[in-house]
Amino acid sequence: MWAGGNVFLLANTVFALNQTLHSSLLMTEMPLWMKLWKVGRLANLIFCFIYNIIFLGMFTDLFLILYVYDKKDYGFFDVMEAMFFAYNLMLHFPIYFVNSMIIMKEFMLEFIQVRQRKDGRDDDMALGLVDLYDAWNDVFWVFNPLTYINMFINIFLE
């Protein structure tokens, strides 16, 4: 019933509900969720980046249509594009702010965590973005053909 069956609006609504739930649990630093759902948090962080980049692209395109491009050359599809961008930017701008809040909190958790254990031990609730970077480099080291070429060169030169 919501959005007349428009798949784009329905998907944005589901995404907004997911992000709201995710940000609520993230901001309160729920211990069980923070420790057991690190892969989901990483996927959500990636989706936040992708959504915000698309949102900023739509905003930039709308700004260019309204203020930079020559309005004498506008056709029907240019006006429809501007209306589509304006409607979606107005309707979905809260998701951009929720995503930005999630991105800032995940990067802040790498340095500062509000919740600490009572027994003095440190609970590592951060995603470990440095560890992810190292793992990413290790995976690409295996798939990099230059790695094996350098190994063979070093073997033959010795």
Which pTM does this prediction carry? 0.74
- For the segment 27-47, what is each residue's pLDDT rounded down to a tens digit? 888 878 888 888 888 889 999
Mean pLDDT of 100-127: 75
Contacts of the segment 22-31: beta carbons below 8 A, 24+ positions apart: 22/102, 23/98, 23/101, 23/102, 23/105, 26/102, 26/105, 26/106, 27/101, 27/105, 29/113, 29/114, 29/115, 29/125, 31/115, 31/123, 31/125
Q: Specify the DSSP class assigned to residue 68.
A: T
Q: How confident is the model at residue 10 (pLDDT cuts 50, 70, 90)?
A: confident
Q: How confident is the model at residue 122 (pLDDT cuts 50, 70, 90)?
A: low
Sort residue 5 into left (φ over 0), alpha (ψ -120 to 50) or beta.
left
Q: What is the mean pLDDT of the chain?
A: 84
- Calpha distance 113→93 (Å, rounded): 28
Mean pLDDT of 125-132: 75
Which amino acid appears at position 119 of this protein? D
In this predicted structure, the answer to whether residue 144 has a pLDDT above a threshold of 70 is yes
- For the segment 45-91, what is each residue's pLDDT rounded down to a tens digit? 999 999 999 999 989 988 998 888 887 888 888 888 888 889 888 98
pLDDT, residue 116, reads: 62
For the chain, what are the domain ranges? Answer: 2-127
Specify whether the CB–CB gap between 2 and 13 falls below 8 A. Answer: yes
In this predicted structure, the answer to whether residue 119 has a pLDDT above a threshold of 90 is no
